[in-house]
Structure 1
Amino acid sequence: MAIATQPTLSNSLSTLGLTAKTLFFSLNFDFTPPKTEKKKKNRFKQNQGAIDIDIACVLYDKQCTIVDMVWFKQLRDSAESVRHQGDSLNGKDRGEQALYHAPLDQEQIRLYLKDIPAQVTSIGLLANSYYEQPFRRVHAGEIHLSDDEGNRAFDINLKQLPGDCHTLWVASLHREVGDWHLILQNLPLPAKDLEKAAQEVAHELARALPVPLSVAT
């Protein structure tokens, strides 16, 4: 079910004014932790105190097969064309310069478009709440896509997402001749983690492929 938080966006990057060769898929959020929160050695899913939002870029070929995935478990793809700048566990562990109202993004993935392998035809941009709390639990937050000149393609307000949304297919990029085409999906997914979400997006991309015409014999 698509989210009606803003109009559907589908256009080429050049038409949207993103003419630079580097894109920034970024997350910012402000979360006030509960008064009592015990520290644990392991990150248990049962931890309902903290909120940890992660973003990922998934690279697909023309058969909608996953070629590579960049996320907190793998910070770069094999070609180093997509680079995660590091996992932020709570939105505040990057220091005072990485808080919600600061100019720096708390979590960011950089896409160097000219270096993306030729076999990659689509890129899925995903977000997931690690402990499965809804995104709306944050005090404030947004996900956005921009270029290295500061031009933004979209902003998604986490507070405006459905109350039960904890995994989101944010957008997808599709390779075209001489450009990339951006589609703002804004689609909640049932997946509980990013790996499952990547598979769900692969399935949806495959469904959207044109059906080949049968050849008469």
Structure 2
Amino acid sequence: MVREHIDTIDSLLARYVAGTLPTPARVLVEAHLELKPKNRIKVANLESMAGLELMDIDPVPLSNRDAMLAAVLGSSAPEVSGRDAGGSERVFPKALYDFVGFDADDVPWRTRMPGFKEYDIGEIEGCHVNLFWIKPGRTVPAHTHEGSEISLVLDGAFSDARGHYGRGDISVADDSVDHRPNADMGRPCIGLAVMDAPLKLTGSFRQLIGDIIG
């Protein structure tokens, strides 16, 4: 993303391990790993592969080796489960909560069209970042992307022609994807989107009006 095209979740995770993701994308991946712990195994495997490659490089002496080792051994495991001050489980994973400073109930949503709300976090390190809320059963107008978009489902779920995405799932889209996400019935779909270029509406005017008035 931004410096290199992202077209699959594997490429996203690989760039996360390499440390080359911009901050919003890194936060999205960390939130995903909190919600989908099984994918930490894939990340660990990628880290192991990276470690094997580093073994081929001549080692560099460390002047503060003992201090660094003590810091590693004395560090605690990262907190995964997010709870608010009252002890209730939060909707937003800790990585996202720390990034935006609030949970789902406190998002200052703005209605963009009937059944669709958004909170524009803004431009960060070349990425446009926003939270979105889709009413149960609502279809988002058909669109494609002029660059890369990665979206993380935080609550609820949505479907498009490529599949079904529930809590913790990541959707990766680019200019080869033309879709109309449809939120599941039952509860709103809330998600985080990180884009490096604007989206472009592709549906007919009649289809657009139908999606808006729903």
TM-score by length of 1: 0.24
The structure carrying a bigger strand percent of its residues is 1
In terms of fraction of residues, the more helix-rich structure is 2
TM (normalized to structure 2)?
Answer: 0.25
If asked which structure has higher relative contact order (CA below 8 Å, sep 6+), I would say 1
